[in-house]
Copies of this chain bind each other. A is one copy, B any other.
Amino acid sequence: MFESARTGSRAALARLLSLVERGGSSARDVGRLTFPLGGGAYTVGLTGAPGAGKSTLTTRIVAARRAAGDEIAVLAVDPTSPFTGGAILGDRVRMQDHALDSGVYIRSMATRGHLGGLALATPEAVRVLDAVGFRWVVIETVGVGQVEVEVAGAADTTVVVVNPGWGDAVQAAKAGLLEIADVFVVNKADRPGAEDARRDLEHMLDLASLPDDGWRPPTVATVASTDEGTEQVVAAIDAHRTWLCSDGRLENKRAQRVRDELLAIVGERVVEQVRALRDGAEFARMCSAVEARELDPWTAADELLARVPRS
């Protein structure tokens, strides 16, 4: 399946990604297989409130990258995204621009329910796309939940999309989007208040007192629906990429990501183990002993921990 995916079979690629979505041991097998082959992909996270125009902007970025000759994949982990079927027909039709282009691969991710969920499945899905040869992967998430914000923030370059309108920048700050942004986009900039939104963002950046050698996220105004500003967004992403690729910054960022991911995997495995423990006979025995006051809960917990399987 993996060999087919590498030689261009979209059906095989889709099946691999489904395994990753599903989680568990087959996801791990896919992970073990694809891991040594990746490392060449550059990831762009794109996030913002529902309705901010993230998918339209993603379409524009995809088109710009394709025009430059790059192959590009999109992972839409945004339940409000038209890519995932959550939006109106007009948006869906627009995405069909790329439907016949074999240099573009668009995939929605739905991992709700399984342990670890998005946080574990997304980097794994990126590695699959990386291993089959995509040099660019865009990860679109809706910037409302902590996991979604983290997933977008774990990209090499993260684009945060806001709209004009009182308080939108403040809402973004509250959702933790300011901390992860490498590029700000004020989309729907043809509406009133675009300049105010930009000024709010700049003001918040001033307050954030970035380090001297830090990256100050530029703010780009766009009207994604008419393709206005796309060039500037792509240029801002490229500028951040150039900055990140110097002085070992990209390596440091990716090393931090490895640490976070390893801890997340270990955490998920441990939770799995504790769940298995809870359903086992030993747990029931320990509970009875505590109820009968033959054993205190701390000693019972020690004995249970000693029985947690190691793999």
Q: B259, A287: Cβ atoms under 8 Å?
A: yes
Q: A35, B296: Cβ atoms under 8 Å?
A: yes
Q: B266, A305: Cβ atoms under 8 Å?
A: yes
- Among the listed B32, B286, B298, B306, which residue makes an inter-chain contact with A28, where contact means beta carbons less than 8 Å apart? B298
Q: Which residues of B contact A259 (CB under 8 A)?
A: 278, 283, 287
Q: B287, A258: Cβ atoms under 8 Å?
A: yes
Q: A32, B299: Cβ atoms under 8 Å?
A: yes
What is the distance, in angstroms, from A271's C-beta to the closest C-beta of chain B?
Answer: 8
What is the distance, in angstroms, from A230's C-beta to the closest C-beta of chain B?
Answer: 34
- In the complex, whether A270 has a CB less than 8 A from a CB of chain B is yes
- Among the listed B255, B261, B300, which residue makes an inter-chain contact with A262, where contact means beta carbons less than 8 Å apart? B300
Q: A274, B270: Cβ atoms under 8 Å?
A: yes
Q: Which residues of B contact A291 (CB under 8 A)?
A: 251, 254-255, 258
- Among the listed B39, B255, B277, B301, which residue makes an inter-chain contact with A287, where contact means beta carbons less than 8 Å apart? B255
- In the complex, whether A310 has a CB less than 8 A from a CB of chain B is yes
- In the complex, whether A293 has a CB less than 8 A from a CB of chain B is yes
Q: Which residues of B contact A300 (CB under 8 A)?
A: 262, 265
Q: State A116–B299 Cα separation when bound (angstroms).
A: 17
Which of A251, A273, A291, A296 neighbours the largest number of chain B CB atoms within 10 Å of its CB?
A: A296
Interface SS of chain A: helix
Interface residues of A in 20-60 (CB under 8 A from B): 28, 31-32, 35-36, 38-39
30 contacts between A and B (CB under 8 A): A28-B298, A31-B296, A35-B296, A35-B297, A36-B296, A39-B293, A254-B291, A258-B287, A258-B291, A259-B283, A259-B287, A261-B297, A262-B287, A262-B290, A262-B300, A262-B301, A262-B304, A263-B278, A265-B298, A265-B300, A265-B301, A266-B301, A266-B304, A267-B274, A269-B301, A270-B270, A270-B305, A270-B308, A305-B310, A305-B311
- A contact set with B: CB distance below 8 Å: 28, 31-32, 35-36, 38-39, 251, 254-255, 258-259, 261-263, 265-267, 269-270, 273-274, 277-278, 283, 286-287, 290-291, 293, 296-302, 304-306, 308, 310-311
Closest 6 CB pairs of A and B: A35-B296, A265-B301, A28-B298, A258-B290, A31-B298, A32-B296
Q: Name 10 extra pairs, CB < 8 A, besides A255-B287, A267-B274, A270-B273.
A: A28-B298, A31-B297, A258-B297, A259-B278, A259-B283, A261-B297, A262-B297, A265-B297, A269-B301, A270-B305
